Amino acid sequence: MMKHFLSKCQLGNNKIEGSITETSFQKIDNSSLSREPETTLTIITLGFSGVGKTSLIQNFMNGELAGLQLATIGIEYSSSKFRLSDGSIINCCIVDTNGTERYRALNENYFRQADGCIIIYDITNEQSFEEIKEYYIPKIKDKCKENITTILLGNKKDKENERKISIEQGNKLALENNFIFKETCCSERINVSEAFQTIIEVTNLDKKNREIDNDTIKINKNNHKRIKKDKKSNCC
């Protein structure tokens, strides 16, 4: 089945338009790389300890199912190259963090370099959802790039009997903050690839649009300087 997403970049502006089709997104290895990646996207994963950050990354990058996972020590990186639905080839670096309080200062050093952000809570753990509201969202607004592309994931969807956070609560928090939202499950591979594909594709479009904006500002500044200079030289 071919799923079709509309990127938020398409809504209401005339910048780069892109439709995201699941079938055209592809992980590529170095041997089949036809050209160098155009850019590197850095995506940071955040959330309370034990919500499943490492499991989700390993599930997406290596196809591993959730198993016994040791707490992440410090920061870990995984990177891979992808062909996106608009034909771009990108290098994607996913930064895995540890969710315990004592690593917060270390994690914050990586906020500024992130192009995209994945925030995760565990649908059976209220504290993991509260932490997002009280700590992660304010920190992202303070330390990350302005309007950083963000997806909110409610993980462990398989544990329906123990659910504490409803889909509506997750959706509401995402809407209030202009985040994309999905519920996922590593052990049964529900929505994992879809969530990562979406954040990678949308982050790439947002980054391209930001670069266009910056170029436009530069051109406008240069034109302004030139006009000023021309006016001066015409002046008696």
200 near ligand GTP, rule: CB under 6 A = no
Tell me which of ligand GTP, Mg ion, none is bound by residue 37, counting a contact when its beta carbon lies within the kind-specific cut-off of 5 to 8 angstroms: none
* Residue 203 beta carbon to ligand GTP: minimum distance, rounded to whole angstroms: 21
155 near Mg ion, rule: CB under 5 A = no
* Residue 93 beta carbon to ligand GTP: minimum distance, rounded to whole angstroms: 17
- Would you tell me how many other CB atoms lie within 10 Å of the CB of residue 201? 29
164 near ligand GTP, rule: CB under 6 A = no
Q: Is 135 exposed, middle or buried (0-12, 13-18, 19+ CB in 10 A)?
A: middle
| Distance in angstroms (rounded) separating the CA atoms of residues 52 and 58 | 10
Name which of residues 52 to 111 contact ligand GTP (CB under 6 A). 52-55, 66-69, 71-72, 98-99
Q: What is 96-121 written as a DSSP string?
A: E---SGGGHHHHHTTTTT-SEEEEEE
End-to-end CA distance of the chain: 71
Instruction: List the beta strands (DSSP E) in 50-203.
Output: 76-83, 89-96, 116-122, 149-155, 180-183
187 near ligand GTP, rule: CB under 6 A = yes
Show the tokens assigned to 168. 């509506």
54 near Mg ion, rule: CB under 5 A = yes
In the complex with ligand GTP, the residue whose CB is nearer, 49 or 169, is: 49
124 near ligand GTP, rule: CB under 6 A = no
* Residue 118 beta carbon to Mg ion: minimum distance, rounded to whole angstroms: 13
Q: Is 164 exposed, middle or buried (0-12, 13-18, 19+ CB in 10 A)?
A: middle
Q: Which residues bind ligand GTP (CB under 6 A)?
A: 47, 49-55, 66-69, 71-72, 98-99, 155-156, 158-159, 185-187
Q: Which residues bind Mg ion (CB under 5 A)?
A: 53-54, 72
